[in-house]
Amino acid sequence: MKIKAALFDLDGVLVDTARYHYEAWLVLANQLSIPFTEKENE
């Protein structure tokens, strides 16, 4: 099957992924012992 198109949602119009991005950054920050809050993620 040949791919005819690709769809990117970088601003949350189709899927709200902001929470997942924050949680991923939080995991990394915790591993590096760096404080990281939701406010800093905005």
- Catalytic choice (7, 11, 15, 42): 11
Task: Specify the pLDDT at position 2.
Answer: 96
Distance CA 25, CA 38 (A): 10
| pLDDT at site 9 | 82
pTM, to two decimals: 0.66
Residue type, 23: E
Task: Note if 16 is an active site residue.
Answer: no
Which positions of the chain have pLDDT values less than 70?
A: none
State residue 27's pLDDT score.
98
Is 9 annotated as catalytic? yes
Q: Which of 9, 16, 23, 38 is catalytic?
A: 9
Report pLDDT for 18: 87
